[in-house]
Chains A and B, each alone.
Chain A
Amino acid sequence: MAIDRGEARLDGNACAGLLAEIFGQDLTAARGACAGCGAVGQIGAQHLYGYPTGPGAVLRCGSCHGVLLVVVDAGTRYRLGAQGLTWLEIQKRG
């Protein structure tokens, strides 16, 4: 399976542009907590699948490989699923 092949994987850093487009700021330095295993880490350090060649992006936990965040490019909108994040810490813009 693709997910077991190391070469299919990138870092969250590689979808920084996509996330910045959605959130309006950089998210790769932001910390989040995995709902599956509780690991806390920066988004840029997690594992990325499916981007930029697929129809979206799947971000998985670097510790337990559970899904953290799914972004689907649905043409005129993005659909964001964040079921695997207990929390996400976003920098205030000042």
Chain B
Amino acid sequence: MARAAIQRRLTWRLAEVIEVVKETPRVSSLVLRAADWPGHLAGQHVDVRLTADDGYQAQRSYSIASAPEHGDQLVLTVERLEDGEVSPYLVDELRAGDRLELRGPIGGYFVWEADMTDPLLLVAGGSGVCPLMAMLRHRAATATAVPARLLYSARSLEDVIYRAELDTLALDGGLRVDLTLTRARPPGWTGFARRVDREMLAQAAWPLEQRPLAFVCGPTPFVESVAGSLVDLGHDATRIKTERFGPSGGSDGD
């Protein structure tokens, strides 16, 4: 099953938009149904291609945020970048019933499966939480006992994607969610209130001897800083998987 999802030949296919869910002022989730979807692994992405009337094409990659167990529905969570060529269309213009050209699932590197039993450490900057959410949803759907921690950096509480669902997931006791709010905090906020740094990781990440498997996703400067800090703390670099989103410019925890 896993192999099939990775090795199937890539072809462009049409997906139908079932629903567009507003997650935060700048982020929406697209619920899609793709005919003959072969299934995916948590952490994989799709390429989305838009074609203008004159034939001009623009292509971008978006992480799949839904669990593999979600059936033939696929959720992409997209942040609108102000100068973006593709994301403003996806977030602002797309409606239920529209069709979208995509190919996937893609990627065999930044992938977590429930049979990987080491403690799971997820570190997200802004919309970098999307592929990590697929992992947490996969973890919940398989009811695995793998303990997990998520450290999630956002500018403000309003910018936290999947906030209600994260609260619910964290009720199971095997998952700890730490938020850090880098710009604005609600009154009485007692959580972290700065950019992710080495000291914060020492508190929020697993102790070294637990040998966690780490996935770090966010804007490039965020990912490089977090991965560097984890290595400085003594974590094994080969057990830290990273996915860089590119320039900072959204609701990330810059």
Interface residues of A (CB under 8 A from B): 6-14, 16-17, 20-21, 24-26, 28-29, 42-45, 52, 91, 93
Contacts and interface: CB of A to CB of B under 8 A. Distances in A.
Contact of A14 (B7, B244, B247): B244
Contact of A20 (B10, B60, B247): B10
A13 B109 contact: yes
Contact of B103 (A9, A17, A42): A17
Interface residues of B, number: 29
Contact of B107 (A7, A28, A93): A28
Contacts of A8: 220, 247
B224 interface: yes
A20 B10 CA distance: 7
Given A6-B224, A17-B10, A26-B108, A52 B59 contact: yes
Given A16-B107, A26-B108, A52-B60, A93 B7 contact: yes
Between A21, A24, A93, the greatest number of chain B beta carbons within 10 A of the residue's beta carbon is seen for: A21
Nearest to A21: B10
Contact of B109 (A12, A25, A91, A93): A12
B38 interface: no
Contacts of A42: 109
Interface string B156-181: 00000000000000000000000000
A17 B104 contact: yes
B89 to A, nearest CB: 16
